[in-house]
Structure 1
Amino acid sequence: MTAPALPSFVEPCGHDVYAVDTGFHRPRFDAAYLVLHAGRAAVVDAGTNHAVPRILEALAALGLARDAVDWVIPTHIHLDHAGGVGLLMQELPAARVMAHPRAARHLVDPSQIWAGATAVYGEAEMQRNYGTLVPVPAERVDTSGDGLRLSLAGRTLEFADTPGHARHHHCIWDEASQGWFTGDTFGLSYREFDTAHGAWLLPTSTPVQFEPEALRASVERLLARTPRAMYLTHYGRVDEVPRLGALLLALLDEMVALGRRVAGLGEARHAALCEGLAAIYRDSLARHGCTLAPTAVQQLLALDVELNAQGMAIWLDREAGTKR
């Protein structure tokens, strides 16, 4: 049987898992996943509203009708993962959403998420990046629980509560592939940084709920399953999980140490965090054998350095308030 001709933005990951490049920011930056089994499908993470046509085109290319999708599962409700859920659900008549308990109400009423993000980025930037958020009818939303096992036509998906990047984050264990859909819990791995040593990754401390101790515990929990692969939203399937897990935790420790060093710098703290994070990642990439020009590395990581610095500042302020 001839394999289906897939659009250029769809990447087979094995075990009937497909990564769909959502087109957010740059190629191979943000993924939605299709999980197929016995003629049924689940979508894990949905990107933004602008990703919905690509997901629908991918389904059609794989020979699936829209009513063959049983589940849409955002790992968490940051808009690059879940901004398109409501619009996508309008196109999938048989699907239900499986959301983290802390996330469900924001999918039903996304006004609080929209207002908070708009206050930071402005209306024009929000429309350009995400489009207007569409509510999901409450009766189509279910909530996960730690250890919940869901059947996709007999294929078991198991949920784990994984705070650290966000308190509304769960990861999904796919029994068939022996891999985790990790959202942002297992960090970010951009294909531009692949070398002869394999993939490279970094932790993400994006605002506003970064908690390093919780993140370490969540990563260690994922690793305890001895997974064969991790399916990262940013970006794609990665193997060599023990090596990458050790790298992720080592970089997390360096980020925490940096935060402790600059915590009291006042107005100079943000610049110090950005400079320190850039240096941590640059040095790690050099050890990884990355030969990209420094300007290219800086450009590829500029957004993450800025967002990680913002998230670390919120963590440091929260920690300082707790100690007072």
Structure 2
Amino acid sequence: MSDRFGIHTIDTGFHRPAFDAAYLIVENGRGAFLDCGTSHSVPVLLAAVEEAGLRPADIDWLILTHVHLDHAGGAGALLRHLANARVVVHPRGAPHMIDPARLIAGATAVYGEEEMARSYGTIVPIPESRVDIARDGHRVDLAGRTLACLDTPGHALHHLCLWDATSRSVFTGDTFGISYRELDTDRGIFLFPTTTPVQFDPEALKTSIARLVALEPERAFLTHFGAIDHIPQNARSLIEQVDAMSRGALALIDAPDRHAALVAMLDALYVPRAVAHSGLAESAVRDLLGMDIELNAQGLGVWLDRRRRV
């Protein structure tokens, strides 16, 4: 689907419906992808190009918010179909796109070879000659439409967000949290932060959220999932939750079975609130949030270990 500003929301098909989004921005017959999902997502993305009335040769840019595999795993495979496209990526993320060996090894250590192949497919390197490094303030020209890259650490050190002044929208990757459409009600959305491994930094994340709010955007386009509004209100909620998660984690730094304690803390923080907001049963909420709670607990654990070393 697309809006009046030529922004097409694409469900990449990763994990479950309405879980992982990529975006296609169209301006004057030219296109830019923002994130791309996994290698398995390539046919869906190419179909979106056709549905937008474009050809693959009309795509000028693939802009990556960061190099986590649900956002960027399919970049190399997609680029093989986009003869004229260049990849825009944070300087810390670029080496992993050019030579993804460490990225593959790290993910394989977590998921195993069988799950890597099932979920992510083949990770294809990107030629260095097709990579543009996006430092803070880098500007992408899409047929006269300026897309500004903002360095936004907190979720990851290699994270950038995109500001589109034409639509007054920010494309936030994972910086502005996660909001699943299944939890929407007439009271609004259910939004929560993501602290997945391995570079969560609560103070940096809060600073990045505040920076996005200062732009006075009308909408934020999340990878997980879709567009949300009421940005100042939702930013306050996110910052409060980052603080609550950090306090809860610090209280458990010496817990005997720390990971299980972190999972229980996050479950208590989110499941009752999501049940009250959505009206869904606890079991349904845990089906939706269980993977995020597990990954957030892992990320908080890495953060606690890093604090010990400081």
Q: Give the TM-score taking structure 2 as reference length.
A: 0.98
> How many angstroms does 1:286 deviate by?
4.8
SS of 1:262's equivalent in the other structure is: coil
* SS class of match (1:20): strand
What residue ranges of structure 2 are gaps of 5+ in the alignment?
A: none
Contact kept? 2:275, 2:282, Cα under 8 Å: no
Query: Residue 54 of structure 1 aligns with which residue?
Result: 44
Q: Which residue of 2 aligns with 1:296?
A: 284
Aligned to 1:201: 191
Corresponding residue of 2:145: 155
TM-score calculated relative to the size of structure 1: 0.94
Distance 1:159 1:299 in 2: 34
What is the 5 A alignment of 1:168-179? 168-179=158-169
Instruction: State the partner residue of 2:173.
Output: 183
Partner of 1:282: 271
The residue type paired with residue 296 of structure 1 is A
Task: Determine the structure 2 residue equivalent to 1:305.
Answer: 293
Residue in 2 aligned with 1:270? 259
Tell me, yes or no, if the aligned pair for 2:249 and 2:262 is still in contact at 8 Å: yes
Moved more, 15-24 or 142-151: 142-151
Query: What secondary structure, in the 3-state scheme, does the structure 2 residue paired with 1:167 have?
Result: coil
Q: Give the fraction of aligned pairs with identical amino acids, expressed as a percent.
A: 51
Does 2:244 correspond to 1:254?
yes
For residues 273 and 171 of structure 2, what CA distance do their matches in structure 1 show?
Answer: 25
- The SS at the match of 1:12 is coil
Equivalent residue for 1:128, pick from 108, 118, 123: 118
Distance in 2 (alpha carbons) for counterparts of 1:230 and 1:179: 6
Q: Please report how far the alpha carbon of residue 279 of structure 1 lies from its aligned counterpart in structure 2 after TM superposition.
A: 1.1
Counterpart of 2:295, as a letter, is L
Aligned 8 A contact 1:13 1:237 in 2:
no
- RMSD of aligned Cα (Å): 0.9
Q: Report what 1:236 is aligned to.
A: 226
Are 1:105 and 2:91 an aligned pair?
A: no
Q: Which residue of 2 aligns with 1:5?
A: none
* 1:7 corresponding residue in structure 2: none
Q: Give 1:12's aligned amino acid.
A: S
Paired amino acid for 2:306 = R
Secondary structure, in 3 states, of the residue corresponding to 1:284?
helix
Give the CA deviation at 1:196.
Answer: 1.0
Q: CA deviation at 1:13?
A: 4.0
Q: Structure 1 regions of 5+ residues with no counterpart? A: 1-10
Q: Retained in 2: the 8 A contact 1:20–1:31?
A: yes
Structure 1: which amino acid aligns with 2:300?
M
AA aligned opposite 1:306:
E
Contact 2:192/2:238 (<8 A) preserved: yes
Contact 1:15 1:177 in 2 (8 A): yes
Number of residue equivalences: 310
Contact 2:18 2:180 in 1 (8 A): yes
**Partner residue, 1:6:** none
| Structure 1 Cα separation of the partners of residues 50 and 275 of structure 2 | 42
Q: CA deviation at 1:132?
A: 1.2
- Structure 2 CA distance, aligned partners of 1:179 and 1:199? 18
> Which residue of 72, 76, 89 corresponds with 1:82?
72
- The alpha-carbon deviation at position 14 of structure 1 amounts to 3.9
